[in-house]
Structure 1
Amino acid sequence: MYRLGIDVGGTNTDAVIIDEALNVVAQIKHPTSDDIYDGILGAIDAILSESKVDPKKIHLAMLGTTQCTNAIVERKHLEPVGLLRIGAPATLGVPPLVDWADDIAKVAVSVAMIGGGFEYDGKAIAAFDEAAATAYFESLKGKVNSVAISCCFSTIRDEHEKKAAALCRKVLGDDVHVSISSDVGSMGLIERENATVLNASLYKVAQKFTDGFAKSLSEHGIDNAKIYISQNDGTLMTMAHAQKYPILTIACGPTNSIRGASYLGELKEAIVIDVGGTTTDIGVIQGGFPRESGVAVTIGGVRTNFRMPDVLSIGLGGGSIVRQHPDGNITVGPDSVGYEITKKALVFGGDTLTATDIAVKLGMCQIGDASKVDFLETDFAERAMTVIRNAIENGIDAMKLSSDDADVILVGGGSVIVPSTLTGTRQVLMPNYFGTANAIGSAISKISGTYEKLIDYETLPREEAIEAAKKEAIQMAVDSGAAKETVEIIDVEDVPLAYYPGNTNRVKIKAAGDLAI
């Protein structure tokens, strides 16, 4: 039995096939096309040809894709959304989408605020205005197929959101896509609401890439495989879950690379530097999983608070364009030749000087025709490499939590441009299969469950609360497709909230296990 892992990047679509013992059987890199499905089909063709594996023996297929991120950033393929906020009169002072740019705010074609919602201690602000909700949903008939529902302090009590969701389906039919904020984001009404609107607007994008992936597998005879989609905490979800929560695929590329780096480098605590053709993502492995960001994250200009990996992205990659300016200064990036590197870089016969050309000139790697960069002066190449080194070292410093030297794992096809010694590091590893770590991370990932709730320890003692939360997280992982006997707790967090009554804490438990096959 084999696993197929595919990760779609801006420059390349990477694919790997892994056997039952999680050994890499074959790996390929295929240029990402303007239509990513052509790239995926090409990658599947190439990996099957390279591995000689019988498609019928591939029983698991995983996909990591940038489709949802691209849709938000480029303002393309987003579905019109109706937004209902439950929280009047308390939240009327700050209307929905208040800080959205006009070009993305228009995704919400209708917005309403009605009575209901809760205080921070769970007390009702007002009764749920069922009549107003019904009238609003009636007004949406024929206008939208997707609805976002948010409610004040729904992370504490979600009854009003669930009532509204049931009412929405009653009025608009079971085919309507409904996103409720308590399922999507964390504390903070505006940021949670923003994330919910984005999630609602992405449902058609998610349907397209999940159905398209399934179809492309079937066309290649891979019709016995269970299909999973990478999500941004370094674990997997089913196609049905991805269609319901497409926003969870955002930033899955960096998390796949971090998981793959941890596996290949055999380290559970390290800094991962993933260098692609255009950008470098710097993340942190904690306990074998990506460190999660603790602050609100802006996506395409929209401030959100759903879970995201703590990743620093810089405009540096293998295809970054190198320039010497009239004042003698050298810059590397942020613009890049991207997936056209094999046409435009000097070592491939092109006419654009890139970071890869600099690495080849300095003997750091053997790519293309090294004679084509013989004319470059060594001093110039070394000065350009100093620019690259400084950018990477500054990024490492920004991601560290202490001044101690850290282990670093280099992955990604562009990592050949990174020096083998870096200030502030204990060791710099470039493991085997470093170029396809993202696809490997997708293929070897686990299934997880995350339980998060506000609990008053005066009502329920801490030990009992934590134990109950662990059981909930484990069951959530099992329900998502993990084998129960393999599930383990990978993160426990409880944070006291001084502004809440009693001894209230935010309890967050994450469990993960191997796929149940």
Structure 2
Amino acid sequence: MKRIGIDVGGTNTDAVLIDGEKIIASIKVPTTQDVMSGVKAALSHVAGHAGASGRPIDAVMIGTTHFTNAVVERARLERVAAIRIALPTGASLPPMCDWPGDLRAAVDPLIFMVHGGHEYDGSPLVPMIPNEIREAAMKIRDAGITSIAISATFSPLTTECEVKAAEIVRSVIPDARITLSHTLGRIGLLERENVALLNAALQSLGRTTVQAFSDALREAGVTAPFYLTQNDGTVALADVAAANPVHSFASGPTNSMRGAAFLTGLSDAMVVDVGGTTSDIGCLVGGFPREANNIVHIGGVRTLFRMPDLLPIALGGGTIIDPETGKIGPRSVGYRILTEARVFGGNTLTTSDVAVAAGLIEMGDKDRVRDLDPAFVKASLERIRDMVTDSFDQMKTSAEDVQLIAVGGGAFLIPDKIAGASEVLRVENAGVANALGAAMAQVSGEVDQVFSGLSRDEAIAKAEAEAQGAAVASGASRASLETLEVEDIPIAYLPGGARRVRVRVIGDIAFN
């Protein structure tokens, strides 16, 4: 099976072509300012090697920073409307009350709070008033807004209000793009609502991004279906992923972690992915990134949904070092490293310059950094070691030494010995581990829901069936599905034997 994996980072765009588990071709090119030019260059290179076997490419997997960057940069976001079904409660903390001012201004929200919602035990808070929803929908329509987020109190327990409200809104605005909070987030109204609003603001970008990738593939002569990588290290059909762009926020680091697992054969280890601008430290559990179970801030917004447990640090191959103070980061030259780093003819001192001066790697013109004081170089490397060691220690969950896999284009910055690491592993093709992880990805489906009135076995069976349906809708072969995780937590304060059940299934891509 031939696959192309592409990962678009802030500094480099990486691509690989694999046939089964054999790497046929790989390339790393600088990410261009318009992004797509770099993607096309990488794609053309690896696609050019596909004709040797005479078989066409079966699938293309793409990981992108488009959606994260849009939130961080407060750019390319769509105006949104928020409908919260919670009155008479919830009025003191309205939607987006905790958003940074510039991000809130970028989405210019139209906000409505209406009666309805449920209690923690699933009973109605107050009856939902359809006319309130209809009036809100008409105002949204008149404002020309088509991207809408609907949230309701305890909707992961009882989805009724959100589903009914969506039907009413769609009767008024047939072309509305509606995000229901219970499909993305977990218990916790504000965080779940925030995820839905971010998703709504990104849906237009999701469509245009998928179309741009589709055009790039067509120009390269690739007709295979393509997928976008997700936060959990899996992929979804591009059209499905475009509807839920928040599921691709952390796809870059998770691609690298999956690639690290593939390259080393390890399923349980720590991974540090060193890019051009930042490094991400995470933990592999069973071959997949460990999932975060707490609040995750995205562009300054509190969220709680399916995200990997990662610790980012401002350390990459393009990170700027102050030549006077020796301070490292947080600024980086990013994709401009080939023109601004000293070894490449520029005047900005970066971590890569120090690494070349220390003999850790050969690139550029070493003569351009011979003037660096050896004591300064040594001190800089010690600071880098301290940054990595501190972050590594924060992410460990036991006192025992564990293996650390160093991947990414800037992996040469990771020292060979780190306190708490039994060994630092370096493998061939580590520089394109992210693209490899994308190419090797499978498809998953997940359900995280509260069930009541069912036995434990019935609740798990129902959750498993729903998770399987979600995986198939995302492009998985039903025959290949297997259950990866099952969590079953009885909720003592709810009646009817209520329990929170989380099921995750995974399977291979379904090829027509």
Give the aligned partner of residue 167 of structure 1.
Answer: 168
The counterpart of 1:455, out of the listed 447, 451, 462, is: 451
Kindly indicate whether residue 396 of structure 2 is the aligned counterpart of residue 400 of structure 1.
yes
Matched, 1:476 2:477: no
Instruction: Name the residue aligned to 2:158.
Output: 157
Structure 2 partner of 1:139: 139
**What is the alpha-carbon distance in structure 1 between the residues aligned to residue 491 and residue 28 of structure 2?**
48
Quote the Cα distance in structure 2 between the aligned partners of 1:393 and 1:461.
47
SS at match of 1:57: coil
Give the residue type in structure 2 aligned to 1:41.
K
For residues 192-248 of structure 1, the C-alpha deviation after alignment (integer angstroms, 9 at most, x for no partner) is 11111111111110011101101110111112x011111111111112211211111
**Hey, what's the Cα distance between the residues in 2 that align with 1:128 and 1:463?**
33
201-210 or 349-358, which deviates more? 349-358
Deviates more, 1:369-378 or 1:94-103: 369-378
With 507-516 and 486-495 compared, the bigger mean Cα shift is at 486-495
2:488 paired with 1:494: yes
CA separation of 1:503/1:398 partners in 2, compared to 1, >3 Å: closer, same or farther? farther
* 2:8 and 2:31 in contact (8 A); partners too: yes
Q: 1:26 to 1:204 in 2, by over 3 A?
A: same
CA distance in 2, matches of 1:432, 1:153: 48
Q: Identify which range, 442-451 or 348-357, moves more after superposition.
A: 348-357
Could you tell me which residue of structure 2 aligns to residue 289 of structure 1?
Answer: 288
Which residue in the other structure is 1:124 paired with? 124
1:60-79 matched pairs, under 5 angstroms: 60-79=59-78
Distance 2:342 2:108 in 1: 47
Task: Specify the alignment match of 1:432 in structure 2.
Answer: 428
Partner SS state of residue 141, structure 1: helix
Alignment of 1:288-367 (within 5 A): 288-325=287-324, 330-367=326-363
Pair 1:323–1:351, CA change in 2 (3 A): same
Alpha-carbon distance between aligned partners in 2 of 1:283 and 1:59, rounded to the nearest angstrom? 30
Question: For 1:148 and 1:108, how far apart are their aligned partners in 2?
Answer: 13
Shift in Å at residue 115 of structure 1? 1.1
- Indicate which of 442, 465, 472 corresponds to 2:459: 465
Aligned-pair CA distance for 1:375: 2.6
**CA offset digits 1:54-108 (Å, max 9, x no partner):** 8971120111111111111111111111111111112223211111222222324
Partner residue, 1:264: 263
Could you tell me whether the CA contact under 8 Å between 1:345 and 1:357 is conserved in 2? yes
Deviates more, 1:140-149 or 1:267-276: 140-149
Deviation at 1:417, TM superposition (A): 1.4
Distance 2:323 2:357 in 1: 16
Q: Name whichever of 361-370 and 465-474 sits farther off.
A: 465-474
Q: 1:464 to 1:172 in 2, by over 3 A?
A: closer
Which residue is equivalent to 1:24?
23
Alignment check: 8 A CA contact 2:50 2:57 kept = no
What TM-score, normalized to structure 2? 0.95
**2:231 aligned partner:** 232
1:387 paired residue number? 383
Q: Offset at 1:373? A: 2.4
CA contact (8 A) 2:233 2:289 kept: yes
Matched residue of 1:413: which SS?
coil
Contact 2:47 2:222 in 1 (8 A): no
Structure 1, gaps ≥5 residues long: none
- Tell me how far 1:299 sits from its aligned partner: 0.9
How far is the alpha carbon of 1:322 from its aligned partner?
Answer: 2.0
1:260-294 CA deviation, whole Å, 9 max, x = no partner? 11111111111110001111111111111111111
The separation in 2 between residues aligned to 1:197 and 1:108, in whole angstroms, is 11
- Give yes or no for contact 1:230–1:252 (8 Å, CA) kept in 2: yes
**Structure 1 residues 377-430: Cα deviation after superposition (integer angstroms, max 9, x where no partner):** 333211111000110111110100011111111111011111122111112111
Supply the distance in 2 between the matched residues of 1:101 and 1:371 (Cα, whole angstroms).
Answer: 46
Aligned-partner residue type, residue 398 of structure 1: Q
Distance 2:284 2:176 in 1: 39
In structure 2, distance between residues paired with 1:76 and 1:280: 24
Could you tell me which amino acid in structure 2 is paired with residue 86 of structure 1?
Answer: I
Give the counterpart letter for 1:190 in structure 2. Answer: L
Partner of 1:85: 84
Compute the displacement of 1:113 (Å): 1.0
Change (3 A) 1:364 1:263: same
User: Aligned-pair distance for 1:256?
Assistant: 0.8
1:278 maps to what in 2? Answer: 277
Q: Is the 8 A contact 2:24 2:49 kept in 1?
A: no
Residue type of the partner of 1:168?
A: V
Q: Distance in 1 between matches of 2:460 and 2:166?
A: 30
> TM-score when scaled to structure 1?
0.94
* Cα distance in 1 between the residues matched to 2:497 and 2:421: 41
1:513 deviation in Å? Answer: 1.1
The Cα offsets for residues 322-357 of structure 1, whole Å up to 9 and x where unpaired, read as 2243xxx52222111211212222222322222112
C-alpha distance in structure 2 between counterparts of 1:130 and 1:166, whole Å: 10
- Describe the SS at the equivalent of 1:330: coil
Q: Cα offset for 1:52?
A: 5.8
Mapped to 2, the partners of 1:71 and 1:323 lie a distance apart of 29
- Distance in 1 of aligned mates of 2:76 and 2:340: 30
**Structure 1 counterpart of 2:198:** 198
Q: Could you tell me how far apart the structure 2 residues matched to 1:468 and 1:498 are?
A: 20
Deviates more, 1:287-296 or 1:89-98: 89-98
**CA separation of 1:495 and 1:101: change in aligned 2, threshold 3 A:** same
Partner of 2:181: 181
Query: Quick check: 1:148 aligned with 2:149?
Result: yes
How far off is 1:362 after superposition?
Answer: 2.0
Contact map agreement 1:278 1:338 (CA 8 A) in 2: yes
Give the deviation of 1:154 after TM superposition: 0.4
**1:434 CA displacement:** 0.5
Distance 1:400 1:38 in 2: 39
Distance 1:484-1:414 versus aligned 2 partners, 3 A rule: same
Given that residues 55 and 220 in structure 1 are in contact (C-alpha distance below 8 angstroms), is that contact kept between their aligned partners in structure 2? no
In the alignment, the residues of structure 1 paired with residue 186 and residue 65 of structure 2 have an alpha-carbon distance, to the nearest angstrom, of: 23
Check 1:53–1:249 CA distance in 2 against 1; reply closer, same or farther (3 A cut): farther
Aligned length: 509
Give 1:50 deviation, angstroms: 5.8
1:387 & 1:55 partners in 2: Cα distance?
Answer: 51
Q: In the alignment, which of 492, 497, 500 is matched to residue 506 of structure 1?
A: 500
Give the whole-Å Cα distance in 2 for the aligned partners of 1:49 and 1:375: 42
Letter in 1 for 2:241: A
Does the 8 Å contact 2:273/2:406 carry over to 1?
yes
